[in-house]
Chain A
Amino acid sequence: EAGVAQSPRYKIIEKRQSVAFWCNPISGHATLYWYQQILGQGPKLLIQFQNNGVVDDSQLPKDRFSAERLKGVDSTLKIQPAKLEDSAVYLCASSQNGATNEKLFFGSGTQLSVL
């Protein structure tokens, strides 16, 4: 089966610029997650979607980050404007139903460098 697809693989921008990441989850997976992984740290959940509704966005910096999952399939995460501290790997994951005992399937991530 096809895995979770993410693009781009790498992105370099200057601070105050905007950037967008795209994710296509595994077909049929209702739940989609965006994680931020800063160097030396574990993945931190930014936002969780169940179909096209938001389940948890408590750690999303809403003044600069936004995400959408139109039609409950693929998703876009945007940062505007970017700050130096946003440099990280942005991981997309999906799971079948969002149950807390389910396996997460991760994409390869987008490595963002903000200069």
Chain B
Amino acid sequence: AQSVTQLDSQVPVFEEAPVELRCNYSSSVSVYLFWYVQYPNQGLQLLLKYLSGSTLVKSINGFEAEFNKSQTSFHLRKPSVHISDTAEYFCAVSRYSSASKIIFGSGTRLSIRP
């Protein structure tokens, strides 16, 4: 079975500073990887995903994540954060199988200080 670990439950950063949210997964087979974001008082929404091909994937609002197979990681980064990025971020993994389900990490709360 696959699993996902988000090492940081909270990450406080100053506005315009860079940020990295860490995600590690375990699986004995190939996986799909996702980052979902939950803004205050809203439902979860997909931020970006890795399915295959280029290991670097990007979102429309400046976030990017790199699939690193050797380190089994899929860390989320942004070079300069804004107040509007304040949210909880969830890493998720699923396997290349019709019987697989999507497993979510415990989430990282990103708080931006002005």
Contact = CB atoms under 8 A, between A and B. Distances in A.
Interface of A: 3-4, 35, 40-45, 48, 56, 91, 93, 99-101, 103-109
Contacts of A109: 43
Contacts of B44: 43, 91, 93, 104, 106
The residue among B6, B44, B45 with the most chain A CB atoms within 10 A of its own CB is: B44
B86 interface: no
Interface of A is mostly: loop
Contacts of B92: 42
Interface of B is mostly: loop
A99 B41 CA distance: 28
Contact of B104 (A40, A42, A48, A101): A42
Nearest to A35: B104
Contacts of A56: 101
Interface string B83-104: 0000000101011111011101
B43 A107 contact: yes
Given A42-B107, A43-B90, A104 B49 contact: no
Interface in B1-60: 4, 6, 9, 32, 36, 41-46, 49, 51
A18 to B, nearest CB: 25
A42 B105 contact: yes
Nearest to A3: B43
A93 B101 CA distance: 13
B32 A106 contact: no
B26 to A, nearest CB: 15
The 6 closest A-B pairs by CB, nearest first: A42-B104, A106-B43, A100-B94, A106-B44, A100-B100, A108-B43
Contacts of A100: 32, 94-98, 100-102
B106 interface: yes
A109 to B, nearest CB: 6
30 contacts: A3-B43, A4-B43, A35-B104, A40-B106, A41-B106, A42-B4, A42-B6, A42-B90, A42-B92, A42-B104, A42-B106, A42-B107, A43-B104, A48-B101, A56-B101, A100-B95, A100-B98, A100-B100, A101-B32, A101-B51, A101-B94, A103-B46, A103-B49, A104-B36, A104-B44, A104-B46, A104-B102, A106-B45, A108-B42, A109-B43
